[in-house]
Amino acid sequence: MNSVRAFAPATVANVSCGFDILGFAIDAMGDVVEVRERNEPGLQVVSITGDGGRLPFEAEKNTCAVAIKAMLDELGQDIGMEIYLEKGLPLGSGMGSSAASAVAALVAANRLLGEPFEKKQLLPFAMVAEKVACGAGHADNVAPSLLGGFVLIRDYHPLDVIKLHVPDGLHCTLLHPHFELKTSDSRSVLRDSVSLKHSTIQSGNVAGLIAGLFQEDFELIGRSLRDVIAEPYRATLIPGFYEVKEAVKAAGALGMGISGSGPTLFALSKGEQTVQSIIDAAQQVYDSIGLGVDTYHSAINTQGAFVLE
Amino acid sequence: MNSVRAFAPATVANVSCGFDILGFAIDAMGDVVEVRERNEPGLQVVSITGDGGRLPFEAEKNTCAVAIKAMLDELGQDIGMEIYLEKGLPLGSGMGSSAASAVAALVAANRLLGEPFEKKQLLPFAMVAEKVACGAGHADNVAPSLLGGFVLIRDYHPLDVIKLHVPDGLHCTLLHPHFELKTSDSRSVLRDSVSLKHSTIQSGNVAGLIAGLFQEDFELIGRSLRDVIAEPYRATLIPGFYEVKEAVKAAGALGMGISGSGPTLFALSKGEQTVQSIIDAAQQVYDSIGLGVDTYHSAINTQGAFVLE
């Protein structure tokens, strides 16, 4: 019986000033999905590991199955598949966990079917799964997990996804404190309107970040990692946020922000030299407030999801 | 007696989605200022041509004199200079007229003094003049007029000005209808706050425009020339705005927006091939509403202000 396994990386969405429009993929970790041909029609989630028993097996709720179903619907085919999900990413962490599962499932299933779709064409199916998982069909996690690198979602109507240049040596450290923050809570603290002044400041920083990536100007990237729209509200939900930010910047980080809707924080740095200092500095703050933290670090992933041969 | 003449180009500020943070310089026209040594201290505006007698000669109101005064104050010197201003730009048009005068004056005076400042260092002095001329010390006209090219003002505190890549062949057509729009009126129609949704859309388009410039992707530049924050309000003050926009886009323009605070409109195109069609299409609309229009077109100026040898 034919089977394909695929890997999809973790992602950092928003990236401070890029609220709802930017995301990037990291090498450090991700999810693996195996898809096997099945003799009868329908999708069956056969096994899920690494989730502590929390993810649903029902095909209409499981993001892998939902994504594959959307793809098969587009093809007008009712092909049977078994799904085996190996979670590498913690749930509800802000590292694009649901996105990675959906993307890995799509890349595996697409290969199993003889690749009727190009990689980029899988995006809308992953967004259907995000809608089921998160309540909103955002693309700022699924697009970088699928395509790799730094990705801009310029528009949704129609979908306009642009892969940006990533300078060599740009490194990301993730700090995942041991508590869970619901995306819905993290979104509910946002305001429906922003001042013209803050909107303009945010635009300036987004423009600076994009220019910094293309010009490979690490200092400019660092200066531009400033979010005046979401961070001031979300930071109040994340213990130690400003202390950690101050500490990691003093330790050499270019800047720090909230990964997705949190509670994971991401810090960017030039190369790996300062990573251990950044981790030590953050660890010290979390120790002082009695909160455990897992840390990861890696280069920016530029490949995106791929089939494991 | 020593004298120096300098030229500073016209500029398009805002550039649709880049409200208050982006501007670019154009080759088509600009202002010329001659500065001459004077035997006694103090600045004297000796002549102004091309302004129809409307600009002030008083040193504390004339943008050329105000800018040079700010520079001399920084040097702690009270050197006498005569100022001869040749206006090439129409006043109150939204083409950076006051900025070009201040910048040309600074570049000439700086050379006369033996260049105590690098070009970029003249920017704060030009902003002092903008404050006198427009009531706000914006840099989105003076920075591109001084430095040339497409310029991002990422931040004002401290000032962070970034020169962006400009693709070869990017061409600008300016449409200057025969009526005057006060900057204060154009600013007063803006709202103090914007919806989170519109702020996010604006950010996406700014990011798309910057990426389009670096990737030399003319279609992306065109798609990104969309302003949901200022244009919907300002367009109501500009007769025929939407008709002209539709006509020039149908004629091959990548996109069109308001130059600065208007009433001049700018259209970008790939190369010069479509320029005549763009001008004809706009002319037809202005004819139909009985409004005269002056048109100009040129490549993006990448040099900025310079001394005329």
**Sequence-separated (6 or more) residues with CB below 8 Å from residue A220:** A208, A209, A211, A212, B154, B162
Q: Who wins on pLDDT, B27 or B85?
A: B85
Q: Is residue B253 within 8 Å of B267, Cβ to Cβ?
A: yes
B176 and B160 share a domain?
A: no
Classified as helix, coil or strand, A50 is coil
User: Is B203 an 8 Å CB contact of chain A?
Assistant: yes
Tell me whether residue A98 is annotated as binding: yes
pLDDT at position A179 is 87
Number of structural domains in chain B = 2
Lowest mean pLDDT among A219-228, B116-125, B182-191, B270-279: B182-191
Whole-angstrom distance, CA of residue B204 vs CA of residue A147: 18
**Nearest 5°: phi and psi at B7?**
-115, 140
> Would you place residue B186 in the very low, low, confident or very high pLDDT band (cuts 50, 70, 90)?
confident
Mean pLDDT (chain B, rounded): 95
CATH of the domain at B108: 3.30.230.10
Domain extent for A237: 170-299
Residue A11 in contact with residue A300, Cβ under 8 Å?
Answer: no
Chain B residue with CA closest to A163: the answer is: B211
Backbone dihedral angles phi then psi of residue A270, each to the nearest 5 degrees? -90, 110
pLDDT at B103: 98
> What are the C-alpha distances in Å from B178 to residues A21, A164, B265?
40, 42, 12
In the three-class reduction of DSSP (H, G, I as helix; E, B as strand; rest coil), residue B251 is classed as: coil
Q: Which ipTM was obtained for this model? A: 0.95
Kindly state whether residues A141 and A16 are assigned to the same domain: yes
- Do A274 and A149 belong together in one domain? no
A160 touches A153 (CB < 8 A): yes
User: What percentage of residues in chain B have a pLDDT greater than 90?
Assistant: 91
Site from B154, B186, B224 to mutate, A interface, most A CB atoms within 10 angstroms: B154
pLDDT value at residue B183: 80
pLDDT at position B245, please? Answer: 98
3-state secondary structure of B302: coil
**C-alpha pair distances (Å), A211 with each of A128, A198, A220, B139, B206:** 31, 20, 8, 18, 11
Residue type, B201: I
Indicate whether B249 and B150 sit together in one domain.
no
Quick one: closest CA in A to B199, which residue? A199
Whether B211 and B157 share a structural domain:
no
* Cβ <8 Å between B154 and A190: no
Do both B209 and B121 map to the same domain?
no
How far is residue A29's CA from residue A179's CA, in Å, rounded to a whole number?
19
Name the stretches of chain A with pLDDT < 50. Answer: none
B91 belongs to an annotated ligand binding site: yes
Q: What is the mean pLDDT of residues B52-75?
A: 96
pLDDT band with cut points at 50, 70 and 90 for residue B7: very high
Q: pLDDT at position A231, please?
A: 97
Average pLDDT over residues B113-125: 97
Pair (B93, B239) in one structural domain: no
Distances in Å between the Cα of B81 and the Cα atoms of A26, A125, B60, B64, B101 are 59, 69, 14, 11, 16
> Rounded distance, CA A288 to CA B305, Å?
55
Residue B33's SS3 state is: strand
Cβ within 8 Å of A, B 179-198? 190-196, 198
Same domain, yes or no: B116 and B186: no
**Confidence at residue A53, expressed as pLDDT on a 0 to 100 scale:** 92
Report the SS3 class of residue B166: coil
Q: Examine the domain organization and report whether B47 and B153 are in the same domain.
A: yes
B109 lies in the same domain as B213: no
Evaluate whether A306 touches A103 at the Cβ level (below 8 Å). Answer: no
Would you state the pLDDT for residue B1?
59
| Residue for token pair 């502590």 | A52
Same domain, B160 and B54: yes
**Which pLDDT score is estimated for B41?**
92
Partners of B224 on chain A (C-beta within 8 Å) are: 154
Residues B128 and B176 in one domain: no
